Structure 1
Amino acid sequence: MIALFAGFILSDAVQRGYTIPGISQILERLERRDAVPGKGALFFALGALFCLIFFPTDVVFPALVVLALLDSVTTIVGVRYGRHRIYNKKSLEGSAAGILVTFVVLLLLVPPGAALAAAVVAGLVEFATPVDDNLVVPVAACLVLTLFV
């Protein structure tokens, strides 16, 4: 909760035009130009907090790994190699790569059936959700992992 509170304060300060050493430079380099500063990180924290409150702890860590990997890989591969844009500027190549990498890494954490189901469902949710994926992907992954683990 302290990290979430601090994140909201820092995000608000940067959005109001204050320069915070270290934080402002990181946000300049990593954040999208049209995005609210730190919005993705704050939504990641909210999704994680929701999962920690409502799901068993043994599924929360793999679900957060799903979000971190899936979101990163789909974006990197989609921007660099995505040729077939299908929905909401997201590419088939990015989504497929995100699902594949997430599945492979999840094999180290959960049984194969759970890994496959979580990677595919989270990938579909990330691809098609009309709301911020940082909020809904960890919840979808927790739901699937709760059923399989």
Structure 2
Amino acid sequence: MNEQIEKTDVKTPKATRKDIHLPRRLFHLTMGVGSGTIYALFLTHNQAVYILGTCACLLYIFEQVRLNYPEYSGTLSRVTKYFLRAEEQLKESASIPFVMGLLLTILTFPKSVSLVAIYTLAISDPLSAIIGIKFGRTRIVPHKSLEGSLAFFLSCFCIICFVYSPYLETKSWTLLFVAFAVSFSVSVFEMLPIKLDDNLTIPIFSAVTMWLAQTLLLL
């Protein structure tokens, strides 16, 4: 009888990918924008790697405890219910590829390129999901709408212009072309039915595309 009561009292997440799940989206945005801004203003490359690497280790340990010690699920669910989807109850959450995407991006690419990738993941990804779920009417591919993809494209375009704003006076047309080409490429990539978690693929693809454009056009 007590076991039944305990199971009933545990509130498990019911949100899926088709739900706006606003607390999760806001947490996604806050963590990404916060990480990128702190990296841009206060941290060196090595400091960012050490801090984010430590966070990735701690998060991985937390996920293992959550999955392998179900007796603590009642306590942990008081927090995780706001951020986890229903399908993440029995597997690792998207927080692991999210942190790994940021870490791999910072490890591999210059700061300006990494910032574009981080902000794209933090802003464009949740914004496109919210717009697509709330206002999406025109389907391009299954689970992707024209409205959501347009929100992704426009926000990514603005992010690139913001990060590379020092070049606006001297190389304005080059920057606008790069911003358009990279934003369009990443928006198309985001629609592809890739089975890997987009929290990992979006920042890496964004960084590779931005780095190639920057290198080829000497931005």
Superposed CA offset, 1:63-110 (max 9, x none): 111111121111111111112333341222111111112212321112
The structure 2 residue matched to 1:76, chosen from 117, 130, 134, is 130
Instruction: Establish whether residue 142 from structure 1 lines up as the match of residue 207 from structure 2.
Output: yes
Q: Distance in 2 between matches of 1:76 and 1:146?
A: 28
After the TM superposition, which parts of structure 1 deviate over 4 Å for at least 4 consecutive aligned residues? none
**RMSD (Å), alpha carbons:** 2.2
Instruction: Give the Å deviation of 1:126.
Output: 1.4
> What's the counterpart of residue 3 of structure 1?
55
Instruction: Give the Å deviation of 1:112.
Output: 2.2
The one-letter code matched in structure 1 to 2:182 is: A
Alignment check: 8 A CA contact 1:11 1:38 kept? yes
Normalization by structure 1: what TM-score?
A: 0.84
- Aligned with 2:140: secondary structure? strand
Superposed CA offset, 1:13-40 (max 9, x none): 223432486x644431232211256622
CA distance 1:9–1:88, change in 2 (3 Å): farther
> What's the counterpart of residue 126 of structure 1?
190
> What's the counterpart of residue 14 of structure 1?
66
Normalization by structure 2: what TM-score?
A: 0.60
> What's the counterpart of residue 113 of structure 1?
177
Q: Percent identity?
A: 26
Give the paired residue count. 148
Gapped regions of structure 2 (runs ≥ 5): 1-52, 165-174, 215-219
- Aligned with 1:31: secondary structure? coil
Which of the two has higher C-alpha Rg? 2
